[in-house]
Structures are given as C-alpha cells and as structure tokens.
A and B are shown apart, each in its own frame.
Chain A
Amino acid sequence: MRPHLFSSPQLVTACLTAACIVFGLPTAIPGPARAEDPPHVKIENFVFTPATLTVKAGTTVTFENDDDIPHLVVATDNSFRSKALDTGDTYAFTFTKPGDFPYYCGIHPHMQGKITVTQ
C-alpha cells in the first residue's frame, strides 16, 4: 500500500527546504538535503560541494573525492588535514568545537570551502 500523501518523506523534505528558505538557512546545496543524509562534502570538478556546510558540534563530516585527480582537505587553521584522497577515497573529521572552519585543497589551494559548527 502506498504511504499516505501527508506522511511522505518527500513532503517532509519539501517542508524542511521551505523552512530553510524562510529562515534564511543555507540552501546553496545541489538538490534538497534529506534529514537522514550524513553530512557529506563531495569533491568534484575541483569544487567542494556544498561550499559551505553548517553542522552541530560533535558531527562527523565526510569528504569524498569524485575527481580523477587527488585532492587534500586542509583546514586553514591546520586543525585538520586529510591524506591524499585518490578517486573514490573519503576522509571523515568530527567537528567538536563551534565556529567557522574554512578549508582548502592542499595541492589546489584555489579550491576552498567552509564548515560552520554550531552549539
């Protein structure tokens, strides 16, 4: 039996997305983020996507390299640094302290992103 329209996950997602827009939360992400998705930054075409990501303290963010070229994820304040990520490799870091954590690619430093950690 098909789920009832008003309990569908798609509708919940749509409402959350609408709430983000209404309350000015970051929406610069490709497609709607589903609440159940673990925080994830994709590296593709020499770009970190999403470029900015807001998570709560204690959240583990996973970076995944989808390029044919290796990349490194390096915090501007050196608080974290991945190994060289070959195609398909991932790097996970748990953000414990609130604040803004800009980062860049250690070998392509024009590639930049930011993780904002809230309480």
Chain B
Amino acid sequence: MTSHHDDKCCDGINRRHALECMIWAGTGVLWTISHGAPVSLSMLGEAKAADARSSGFTFLQISDSHIGFDKAANPHAIDTLKEAIAKVHALPVKPAFMIHTGDITHLSRADQFDTADQIIGGAGFDVHYVPGEHDVIDDGNGRAYLDRYGKRTKGAGWFSFDQNGVHFVGLVNVVNLRAAGLGNLGSDQLAWLADDLKGVSSSTPVVVFAHIPLWTIYPEWGWGTDDAAQALAMLKRFGSVTVLNGHIHQIMQKVEGNVTFHTALSTAFPQPAPGTASAPGPMTVPPGQLRGLLGITDVAVTKGKAELAIIDSTLAT
C-alpha cells in the first residue's frame, strides 16, 4: 500500500521534468486517457488543459456525496456537493462523462436520491453510478437504487461500456455482505465479469470502478473486498488496469503490476486514516479545516507509464 498523505504537491520537483504534477480537486477527480493509461488531471489548473485537449477524452470521478448527512462532521453535505459540481462546471476541459463511486445518499431515501439527482444530474453530464452501502439500505434492500439507476445494468447494478477505446466496468460490492466479511462481489457478478471481458483485447485499457476498495486496505474496518482477487485474476492479462474506488473518504493508492488502485475523497466528510481512531466514522475537524480535507490532492504522473504516483495536498494550501 502506498500513500503519501502529508506530502505537498511538487515540492522539490521540477515541473519540466518527466514527473508532471497534476492537481486533483478533492471533491472530484478528472481523468484523462494518455498513452493508453488513465492519468488524473487538474480540475482547477489551466496548465493541464492542453494535455486534455490533445487526448480528447477526459472523465470525472466523484464519490461519497452522502446526501442526507447533516451531522457535526459536515452539516452541509448538500452545499459541498454543489461546490464540487461547480468545480466541474469550471473545468477548462469538459469531461466526456462522470462516474460516481457510491454513497450517493446517506440513507437511501427517495428525497435524498432526488436531491442528489438535481445537483449531480443538473451538471449536464452522463453519470455512471455504482452504489455504496448507504444506497441499498431502503426497505427493498437496494430496490430504490435499481429503480433509479439500474435500467441498463445487471444484477445488483453492475455494467460495462466502452468509450474511446477504453473498457469501463462498474461493479457492485456492497450487497449480500456476510458476517465478519468485507465487501462482496459474489459468484453471479464474477461470472458476468469473466464473460464481459472475453471480448476485450488485452491491449485495451480497462477501468474498473466500485464503491468499496478492491484491495484490502484495513480489514479491521471492513476496507476491502473478500472476492476481489478473483476479479483481479481476470484482469491480469490486460496491459493497463485502473481500479477506482470510494468508501474510505481519503486518497490511497497502490500499484501492483499493471494495475493501479486508487480511492477518491468524499464530497461530504473526511474519515480517519486506518487505525488512527477507534472507529471509521465521520471525522469532525474545525470548520476552517473541512474543505481542506475535502480539498485538492495532487498526482504526479510519469508519462507513458501505467503507474500513477500520488502526492496529496489540501485545498487550504
């Protein structure tokens, strides 16, 4: 596991060198496809717009908007989601689409989904959703989510699509969780994935996204997926695989072979780093620090390589 949570972006790095600093807005991550590998790109900085234009294709990830959350860690989760969307609108390069990696709502309530739809859908982008565990706790155990977002999906809401030569797979690992277990994909979804990938050539870049991390970050807090190894085995033959997750409300990254794992920040509230608190619940910080923790994260990318290196900084800096 690799994370660099206290590093400052670009300190000591010559921007003209091969390492290129790219800025993440913590409330969303803009991705571009470069040399066949997705790399993150500045949401705020004009400096990176040229890169996006040359690739001609970007997409944006937001996560964990938790509409309905109003506790001390952020009584205004609606406002911070609006701020995130405002940043998307302000992008110098319009993303081709957005992905939302789950926990759209806090309690799976219809009014919460409605509010999220108005804010996120109002941005005018195609949005591909996967559910978080907070999106499937309605009385129908996920029915409310599927009725709204499941029209072109299988099972509990998994799907794939192709865009500009990249194969995207949205997976669901938040249903049918077992006692003492972690996230769960399940045999039906794994069988579907095997079939889905059959027709995809090994040279095709693959982006897999799901709510709970597909690598084990901290099992004591449930931060991992029990049967992810079976999915990752199917992805071994691909030259470039990028796995994007949410759930842990902080950025972490690991690179393993051709696979880059990455977790996004929340738009709602921060959570503690693994093991630094007694529980993984919402972390309350002084008001002036909240947006800093939802803030900007920087990513250093070595061009032409599938690997991303992450250097985090905050919006407050």
Considering the chains assembled together, what is the distance between the CA atoms of A39 and B174 in angstroms? 31
Quote the shortest CB–CB distance from A1 to chain B (angstroms): 45
Measured between beta carbons, the chain B residues less than 8 angstroms from A46 are: 221, 279-281
Q: Counting CB contacts under 8 A, is B181 at the interface?
A: yes
**Complex: chain A residue closest to B271, CB-CB:** A69
Considering the chains assembled together, what is the distance between the CA atoms of A70 and B136 in angstroms? 12
Q: Counting CB contacts under 8 A, is A45 at the interface?
A: yes
| Interface size, B (range) | 20 to 34
Contact with A104, one of B137, B180, B279 (Cβ below 8 angstroms): B180
Considering the chains assembled together, what is the distance between the CA atoms of A87 and B180 in angstroms? 23
The answer to whether A102 and B179 touch (CB under 8 A), given A46-B279, A68-B73, A84-B108, is: yes
Contact with A110, one of B134, B138, B174, B222 (Cβ below 8 angstroms): B222
Quote the shortest CB–CB distance from A81 to chain B (angstroms): 9
Contact B178 A109 (CB under 8 A): yes
Helix, strand, loop or mixed for chain B's interface? loop
Contact B177 A47 (CB under 8 A): no
Q: Counting CB contacts under 8 A, is B195 at the interface?
A: no
Considering the chains assembled together, what is the distance between the CA atoms of A70 and B106 in angstroms? 8
Contact with A112, one of B133, B180, B220, B280 (Cβ below 8 angstroms): B180
Contact B179 A108 (CB under 8 A): no
Contact A107 B279 (CB under 8 A): no
Contact B71 A112 (CB under 8 A): no
Q: Counting CB contacts under 8 A, is B206 at the interface?
A: no
Contact with B221, one of A67, A74, A106, A110 (Cβ below 8 angstroms): A110
Contact B71 A87 (CB under 8 A): yes
The answer to whether A68 and B181 touch (CB under 8 A), given A84-B107, A107-B134, is: no
Q: Which residues of A contact B (CB under 8 A)?
A: 45-47, 67-70, 72, 74, 76, 83-84, 86-87, 102-104, 106-110, 112
A68-B281, A104-B179 known, 7 other contacts, Cβ within 8 Å:
A45-B278, A46-B281, A68-B72, A68-B282, A70-B134, A104-B180, A106-B137
Q: Which residues of B contact A (CB under 8 A)?
A: 69, 71-73, 106-108, 133-134, 137-139, 174, 177-182, 219-222, 278-282
